[in-house]
Chain A
Amino acid sequence: MSEIGTMRVKSGLAEMLKGGVIMDVTTAEQAKIAEDAGACAVMALERVPADIRAQGGVARMADPTKIREIQAAVTIPVMAKARIGHFAEAQILQALEVDYIDESEVLTPADEEHHIDKWNFTVPFVCGCRNLGEALRRIAEGAAMIRTKGEAGTGDIVNAVRHMRAVYGGIRRLGSLCEEELYAEAKNLGAPVELVKWVAENGKLPVVTFTAGGIATPADASLCMQLGADGVFVGSGIFKSDDPAPRAKAIVEATTHYQDPEVLARVSQGLGEAMASISTAGLDESQLLETRGW
């Protein structure tokens, strides 16, 4: 019997994206540049996070016209963002046949308590997290891929590193606990005990885990991969930089050859200015995107 939308089919696409770079694009032309640079997927959106941050207001799902233009321009998978809890936006994105939905803190949340019940969808979802508990709650809701959040639109990698350390350190810690301690730990994490046990036993999350938020250079991409990421999302880092095409290519190469400092040195040279960046240490609590999500 043939079945669509099974967890194996949903997480299977994320498996194919591993070792790759997923790039934020706002036009068909940018999508082409991303594909030519070797991106494994693109994220179609109205404004990149740096612009959302600068312009403020309410950030929503992209216009379907834009998503269709981007789908027509490339053959790699096209992802799109829905607001946290906005299942109607997600239904629209599924009708458009996007390949993955990112239920994203970069957009303005639509629900202050609930995320989308992702089991109701055939299309797979990727969700952000800052720590292991958040990751496991999203997986319990049906997320088929996880990305650590970082702080989008800043070009500062420090939050991404903090979140990866929290997730991977949390996984290693679970492995050191005995069975009875896992019940209390599940309570601390705010996550289902079955998932906590699975992670303790297998030493990894049950779905592919990428890193996002603040990646601006090939060295940033290599750092994330060395810390344990399966791949990277680059948002503003490419198309808000001086010269997007060579930087896009360089970040792809750095993600593949993340363990090879000679390749990294070669691809890091002469890329021009990185995106205009903001140190997240100077951001007010109210300016942070990473705290969105429950």
Chain B
Amino acid sequence: MTEPLRIGVLAVQGNFREHLSVLRRLGVEASEVRKPDQLDGLDGLIIPGGESTAIGKLVRAYELEPAIRGFEGAIFGTCAGMILLAREAVDGVPDQPFFGLIDIVVRRNAYGRQVRSFETDLELAGEAKPLRAVFIRAPWIESAGPAVEILARYDDRPVLAREGRILVAAFHPELTDDTRVHELFCEVAREAASVRT
């Protein structure tokens, strides 16, 4: 029997509890990450949605920035988390840390303020059944480098993408009962773990 995956969820602010409960439903050993040493021994990390400005500042204040940069497991960023993992934002705020772990440029609050937040069906690459996706003051991917694989689009804009061990979504898979995106991340984490050993 394979050992259960160990995945942490960055829990400084935002929707971390829902990610933890989805992961647990999938049989993952899931834990909250608030301090750098809590990354030790993890196969993957989820950076959840929340307020990217707030999460960015807190990541810096709590010295998590170098720890996340040095983390070798898989990382999944949703919404605010996608922004933090990007190379840059076209409308970027100064002082916001960008990890640059995936070769994308994002636009924050790309669809507008909350009254323009929406839910919709996305076509997933290689899947017959559409995926219900909830976009909350969401970003989109403005441009992506050649190594980035686009897994779903909305209105021609990429909203789900992968580069190696990094997965990003502009929407919130943790707000619906459909666990396919989290299952995909578990696969990414297993692959990353097998590369490291």
Contact = CB atoms under 8 A, between A and B. Distances in A.
Interface in B10-39: 11-18, 34
Interface residues of A, number: 38
B121 A15 contact: no
Contact of A124 (B11, B79, B114, B121): B114
Contacts of B34: 256-257
Contacts of B175: 8, 12, 15
Interface in B34-77: 34, 49-51, 53-54, 57-58, 61-62
B53 A9 contact: no
B11 A19 contact: yes
A100 B115 CA distance: 9
Interface stretch (A32-40, A50-58, A164-172, A215-223): A32-40
Given A16-B51, A257-B34, A3 B18 contact: no
Query: Number of contact residues on B: which range applies?
Result: 35 or more
Contact of B114 (A6, A35, A100, A253): A100
A285 B118 CA distance: 43
Contacts of B17: 18
Contacts of B49: 15-16
Nearest to B136: A12
Contacts of A100: 114
Nearest to B109: A75
Nearest to A79: B114
Contacts of B100: none
Interface of B: 11-18, 34, 49-51, 53-54, 57-58, 61-62, 79-80, 93, 108-109, 112-121, 134-137, 172, 175-176
Interface of A: 1-6, 8-9, 12-13, 15-20, 35-36, 38-41, 74-77, 94, 97-100, 122-124, 252-253, 256-257
